[in-house]
Structure 1
Amino acid sequence: MSMFAKLALRAAEGRPARVGLIGAGKFGSMFLSQAWRVPGIHLVGVCDLSPARAQDAMRRVGWPDARFRVGSLEEAARTSATFVTEDTEALIASPFIDIVIDATGSPAAGIRHVLRACEHRKHIVMVNVEADALAGPLLARRAAEAGIIYSMASGDQPALIAELVDWARTIGLEVICAGKGTKYLPAYHQSTPDTVWGHYGFTEEQVAGGDFNPQMFNSFLDGTKSALEMAAVANACDLSPPDDGLAFPPCGVDDLPTVLRPAADGGILAKRGTVEVVSSLERDGRPVFRDLRWGVYAVFHAPTEYVRDCFAQYGLKTDASGRYAAMYKPYHLIGLELGTSVASIATRGEPTGATKDWRADVIAVAKRALAEGETLDGEGGFTVFGKVVPAETSLSLGAVPMGLAHGLILRNAVAEHRPIRWSDVTYDATHHAIGFRRDMEALFRTEMGLDPAGA
């Protein structure tokens, strides 16, 4: 029976999957636009720092006021309506919620929400890739210990990449490389909220007339968001990041098998089984032919001559040898697709991609020469960008993870393009997110056999 058929059955039996959404921003709003249209899914609660903003978002995407004019989660559960609140703790603890969605984008909040979900035995869907890249390997362990499902968010690129990787491996193909597309030029690493709109080509009138957050948009442009997403994919799919960060090669869909194959066979990869992001721009700024800016891909290898011949017979684009081929999805619809994660948990008891091991980390790197006493301003800001590296490299460097590089004050100057280290900053070790991350570092340092003194 399909997931949709199982959802319809749950609806007919009066036992829908009861969902609580935390965060009514862009991703959350896109989910809101679809959630009330799907049988067998009941969005019992929506939580946001501003309930009024959440209600405005619900109206904007089509909800009639009557569907969220209720006084409690219990009333919402009983009447098929939705309660809007700012009380995250109450939402997660509620006996009327089965599945929690974290769509906040806050690393610290994400850690807190997962731990509360573990405490109250609620499955959780992590739209919050920032929290997953920061502490996902330990959060996943805590979720397993609690007996709950910790899932990537369908519609977001990491989950869609994980789906392609799983498909290839399930039919016996070795995954050589997997990732996504984006708009990239090397100069973008130095982009700031003051320069971001010029890189996107937005006019002042467009920015003034829309819901444009310069720091959020800049995190996509300066490479940070790509690094976070590729770390999540590596940690979920047993893949490795490049040793010195993403290369962002210009590459269209037809050239994926040629570019993203091992260097020994003419490609750019130092090893098999890695992640990479391809650029929709040539290095001189020209558009790449048939780019994959909005999509995801997996490159795989034919194990035998017979399989190579099958690739050719069915029109699969390959490299010149015929052995490397790619499958791709040209678009992703982020929150519009999020219901798939809810349905998979509710009907199959399975995540749509899930963090397993700590293979990749995203470290904070100075965008420019930083002076002693400066305060780091985090993702998409003026001071640092995120770079994905092997977890062992991060631990050996004693690097500050990108998810915590906000509000920390530099104890000394840091040169441009140099990683920020824990020894470079002052920090409060009792802060819950910092403490959790430092605990994860100590745990995996021991498991990896690294010198504790390197911390």
Structure 2
Amino acid sequence: MIHSHAVRDHVPVRVALTGAGGGYGRTLLAQLQHTPELIPAVLIDPDVDGVRRMLAELGHDAISLVAPATGEEFRDAVASGRTVLLADAAPLGWDGVDVLVEATGHVSSGTAYAEDALAHGVHVVMVSKEVDTVAGVALAAKAEAAGVRYLPGDGDQPANLLRLVDWISATGLEIVAIGKSGEYDLVFDPGTGTVTQAGVTIDAPALAEVLDLGDEPLAALSRRADLVAGLKRRAAADLCEMTVVAMRTGAVPDEESLHYPVARVAELADIYAKRQDGGLVSRDGVIDVFSALRLPGEASFAGGVFAVVRTGDPVTWEMLRGKGHVVSRDGRYACLYWPYHAMGVETPLTIHAAVTGAGTAPRPRPTVLLAARAATALAPGTPFRVAGHHHEIDGVAPVMVAPDAGLAPYYLLGDARLRRRVEAGELVRLDDLENVAPVPLAAYLTAGRPAPQPKGTDQ
């Protein structure tokens, strides 16, 4: 039985979705079939035919689909309640659109779509975390000036973690560390001595010896990391997501590439304890990512989010330990977590919040920068391209560093070229680049960033 909800009585909300043909777009469009008050009015994707086929798979009425060529045709189609399919936003006049869900994952077009929507008084739900790390500060300021809302989309880890942090902070609990798990668990099979991650399997029989942290947790974590070194556990998408959260909470990374401990869920309160208590964390307010380690058949963390807090009253938390909560062995720390992120299935929450103003996220501020550190020496003329499932750039590693307006944001490198040599280990700076996309560059430069630091002062 599907239970009704007060939001079902909301006046219709017309939604424009960019990147409609992607995986996120599909999950949202599938969910909108169950939220009749949210209408997918405009779907934008270069592969219009692919979107049309996807809608057919979802059971969408083909008669209600239209691909207008002019602004007038667009307005007529939206006014008549038909779903508009567009390869780009050229014919889009924004008339009749209430909320834009930006999900292209592309910084240049995503920034342009968001700016255009805000200029026309349309709320923006930002799913493209890449856009947010470059232009989010400027876009949020424009939204505030226009009297509309700019929100990260529920269903991806940034918005989910922000909701968790807000809930925990409201209770009065003291947060020590926040973060998420990597997208794919490490599944260890003691019977075969192998570890599998995202379809890649390696031999690691010695992992059985360190399935428990033992008396020396940090040594056990180091051994685990060595044993799974053949797997790629760090991803640009992880650091990108944590930058989105850091910009809205003031959280900071302990290390610019994050700790990435190989951890079982029951250990998180011990692992993210302060260093003087045997954990990894050097200070309060740390943000991080861990690689979830589990056995076959155990529940996945599902790329979910967590917060480690100080417990306070030991009697309370021993009682909660008895109910199955994750509490550190010394009783000083506990981990509260949501083991899921359901992509577009959750995004209706944000669309409603954008329209009603309920539960808005903190405004992003330039407290941390997702920058690019050269993995090897890079010659003049080197081109950069964002590619792959995790939207990574060959030749540079994503790092979370203190903001400096002279540094180039990681995703601003997409489609740019080097104008000068960058040595291995150096952070790429704006003046090292040419052919930088002008729209996101302008947004980044006007966002109240700190003054540039002289070259050679990498953090």
State the TM-score, normalizing by the size of structure 1: 0.80
Larger mean CA deviation between 308-317 and 325-334 belongs to: 308-317
Distance in 2, matches of 1:411 and 1:158, equals 34
Q: Does 1:45 align with 2:57?
A: no
Please list, as runs of the form range in 1=range in 2, the aligned pairs for 1:259-270 lying within 5 A after superposition: 259-270=271-282
Distance in 2, matches of 1:328 and 1:8, equals 29
Q: What residue is the counterpart of 1:444 in the other structure?
A: 449
- 1:317 alignment partner AA: V
1:88 CA displacement: 1.7
Task: Tell whether the 8 Å contact from 1:279 to 1:293 is kept in structure 2 after alignment.
Answer: no
Distance in 2, matches of 1:125 and 1:89, equals 20
Task: Tell whether the 8 Å contact from 2:374 to 2:427 is kept in structure 1 after alignment.
Answer: yes
Deviations 1:314-336 (A, max 9, x none): 44221122221111122222122
- 1:119 alignment partner AA: A
Please list, as runs of the form range in 1=range in 2, the aligned pairs for 1:378-393 lying within 5 A after superposition: 378=386, 379-391=391-403
The structure that is helix-richer by fraction is: 1
Distance in 2, matches of 1:49 and 1:386, equals 28
Q: What residue is the counterpart of 2:284 in the other structure?
A: 272
Distance in 1, matches of 2:128 and 2:81, equals 27
Q: What residue is the counterpart of 2:339 in the other structure?
A: 330
1:30 CA displacement: 1.3
Distance in 1, matches of 2:161 and 2:441, equals 29
Q: What residue is the counterpart of 1:360 in the other structure?
A: 368
- 2:16 alignment partner AA: G
- 2:113 alignment partner AA: H
Please list, as runs of the form range in 1=range in 2, the aligned pairs for 1:28-427 lying within 5 A after superposition: 28-69=25-66, 72-88=73-89, 90-91=91-92, 93-182=93-182, 200-201=198-199, 222-280=234-292, 292=301, 294-305=303-314, 307-309=316-318, 311-312=320-321, 314-346=323-355, 348-350=356-358, 353-378=361-386, 379-391=391-403, 394-395=404-405, 398-427=406-435
Note closer, same or farther for the CA distance 1:183–1:33 as it changes in structure 2 (3 Å cut).
closer
- Residue 132 of structure 2 aligns to a residue whose secondary structure is helix
Distance in 1, matches of 2:454 and 2:424, equals 28
- 1:296 alignment partner AA: V
1:75 CA displacement: 4.5
Task: Tell whether the 8 Å contact from 1:134 to 1:403 is kept in structure 2 after alignment.
Answer: yes
Structure 1: tracts of 5 or more residues without a match:
186-197, 204-219
Give the fraction of aligned pairs with identical amino acids, expressed as a percent: 26
- Residue 269 of structure 1 aligns to a residue whose secondary structure is coil
Larger mean CA deviation between 224-233 and 175-184 belongs to: 175-184
1:9 CA displacement: 1.5
- Residue 376 of structure 1 aligns to a residue whose secondary structure is coil
Task: Tell whether the 8 Å contact from 2:184 to 2:198 is kept in structure 1 after alignment.
Answer: no
Task: Tell whether the 8 Å contact from 1:102 to 1:128 is kept in structure 2 after alignment.
Answer: yes
- Residue 309 of structure 2 aligns to a residue whose secondary structure is strand
Distance in 1, matches of 2:443 and 2:454, equals 17
- Residue 173 of structure 1 aligns to a residue whose secondary structure is coil
Distance in 1, matches of 2:159 and 2:358, equals 13
State the TM-score, normalizing by the size of structure 2: 0.79
- Residue 450 of structure 2 aligns to a residue whose secondary structure is helix
Distance in 2, matches of 1:181 and 1:352, equals 24
1:415 CA displacement: 3.4
Task: Tell whether the 8 Å contact from 2:257 to 2:399 is kept in structure 1 after alignment.
Answer: yes
Distance in 1, matches of 2:280 and 2:133, equals 25
Q: CA RMSD in A?
A: 3.1
1:384 CA displacement: 2.0
Deviations 1:74-111 (A, max 9, x none): 454444431112342543x4221111110110112222
Task: Tell whether the 8 Å contact from 1:126 to 1:152 is kept in structure 2 after alignment.
Answer: yes
Alignment length (residue pairs): 406
Distance in 1, matches of 2:45 and 2:96, equals 18
Q: What residue is the counterpart of 1:208 in the other structure?
A: none
1:298 CA displacement: 1.4
Structure 2: tracts of 5 or more residues without a match:
186-195, 202-231
Deviations 1:411-430 (A, max 9, x none): 343333432223433355x8
